Structure 1
Amino acid sequence: MMTNLFSSFDPSTSFNLSLNWLSTFLGILFIPPMYWLIPSRYNYIWIKIILTLHQEFKILIGNNKIKGSTLMFISLFTMIVFNNFLGLFPYIFTSTSHLILTLSLALPLWLSFMLYGWINNTMHMFAHLVPQGTPPALMGFMVIIETISNLIRPGTLAVRLAANMIAGHLLMTLLGNTGSNLSFLMLSILLITQILLLILESAVAIIQSYVFAVLSTLYSSEIN
């Protein structure tokens, strides 16, 4: 039963082609208005969001020698938030609700951070395995804990985003399937509940995008 329930979110189309994954690139359609001569309201709001994120990520990274480093995390936030919001529209596949995409984003980021840190800042990476103030008797134990916490970071990033996106969609699907068996009064309550859930999902779409980008920024700041 659970397999059939979650299979409703699988990208399946005719001709044995998963064309639903093309929804990942629908966010590109929002880019052309950014190049208008006269800025639109959407353009103005988005520039304010980008500048705010740039200031926050710049503080988190804490290394001003690497110019343009915040652009990578702003682009990551943009891609995820577009996909999260597009998934709230009917008949549009939510690619960020699958581990295939989220792990493809988290794993290369984490691997590149680790390789850069261990190659260029080896002593700093070794020192990071033992937090400051750790008693000598617990140093070996702390090294194991810190190593495990570093290894599971890409998994936690990927699972957090996918689980939060699919949880709300699953709840809305389950509530929507009961609509045909309800009375008019209960159906009205169900519609109000669905609208509130949709507002909540919109907030979750923004928050999860921000959390993914901020955690990636924090992981990159630890290697500098």
Structure 2
Amino acid sequence: MMTNLFSVFDPSTTIFNLSLNWLSTFIGLIIIPYYFWFLPSRINTLWNNILITLHKEFKTLLGPNGQNGSSFIFISLFSLILFNNFLGLFPYIFTSTSHLTLTLTLALPLWISFMIYGWLNNTQHMFTHLVPQGTPSILMPFMVCIETISNVIRPGTLAVRLTANMIAGHLLLTLMGNTGNSLSSILLIFLLVSQLALLMLEFAVSIIQSYVFAVLSTLYSSEVN
């Protein structure tokens, strides 16, 4: 039971020792409709409006000291995560964002680059972040330890948050789907309605989690300037 349940998150399906499940990260390029590339189109207009809105918001979060063009890094990050979250909702497509292999690969290099840039260029500013303003002298050593730990675990919390949210919804969908064979016709209708409602919730979670990942990454980068 547990093996079948968690097999939807199994990345070990191989052909000729090639892990084909991870190709789901790129397989969506095949299903993008061709008319997306014809201008103007409604899909292109909608997506451009989303990107412009995100660009304005990320520029505000980065502040006046942010590097020009740095917001596009986080827009690309948002697009990649949203793309893979949506793909994972289709049947028989591997959800790559449900694994720490992908989410930690996205979060850790970003955090390391922020830390290297901050400590090399704004060393004094980084030290002041370790002690919040107004902290009593006797609590300063403890605050330095707490702030250091909270800073170190940031990439882990980013990765685990995204992974846990993707796994939770998919497991619930799988558990509910496995009970369909033993239900009566009336209960099966309620099951289908609840599955559809849960699927809509998963669509919302896919958008929210990609947005949260990008916004938190932007906030972490703004702290090193």
Do they fold alike, i.e. is TM over 0.5?
yes
3-state SS of 2:189 partner: helix
Q: Aligned equivalents of 1:10 and 1:75: distance in 2?
A: 27
Partners of 2:7 and 2:153 lie apart in 1 by 26
State how many pairs are aligned.
223
Summarize the Cα distance change of 1:14–1:125 in structure 2 as closer, same or farther, 3 Å threshold. closer
Aligned counterpart, 2:161: 160
The equivalent of 2:6 in structure 1 is 6
Letter in 2 for 1:89: F
Question: What is the aligned partner in structure 2 of residue 131 from structure 1?
Answer: 132
CA drift at 1:32: 6.5
Aligned residue identity for 1:185: I
Tell me the SS of whatever aligns to 1:192.
helix
Q: What's the counterpart of residue 39 of structure 1?
A: 40
212-221 or 128-137: bigger deviation: 128-137
TM-score by length of structure 2 reads: 0.94
Cα 1:64–1:46 change in 2 (3 A) is farther
Stretches of structure 1 lacking an aligned partner (at least 5 in a row): none
How far apart in 1 are the matches of 2:100 and 2:18? 19
After TM superposition, what 4+ stretches of structure 1 lie above 2 angstroms from structure 2? 1-8, 12-17, 26-36
Percentage of matched positions with identical amino acids? 71
Correspondence 1:1-224 to 2 at 5 A: 2=2, 5-15=5-15, 16-29=17-30, 30=32, 35-36=37-38, 38-63=39-64, 66-224=67-225
Give the deviation of 1:2 after TM superposition. Answer: 4.9
Measured after TM superposition, the shift of residue 5 of structure 1 is 3.4
Q: 1:202 to 1:123 in 2, by over 3 A?
A: same
Distance across 1 between alignment mates of 2:20 and 2:93: 11
- For 1:202, give the aligned amino acid: F
Does the aligned pair in 2 maintain the 1:124–1:223 contact within 8 Å? yes
**Whole-angstrom distance in 2 between the partners of 1:73 and 1:34:** 22
User: What's the TM-score, normalizing by structure 1?
Assistant: 0.94
In 1, distance between residues paired with 2:174 and 2:89? 12
1:26 deviates by 2.9
CA contact (8 A) 2:8 2:94 kept: no
Q: For the residues of structure 1 that align with 2:214 and 2:62, how far apart are their CA atoms?
A: 12
How far, CA to CA, are the matches of 1:3 and 1:126 in structure 2?
48
Please report how far the alpha carbon of residue 14 of structure 1 lies from its aligned counterpart in structure 2 after TM superposition: 4.0
Once the two structures are TM-superposed, the CA of residue 27 in structure 1 deviates from its matched residue by 4.1
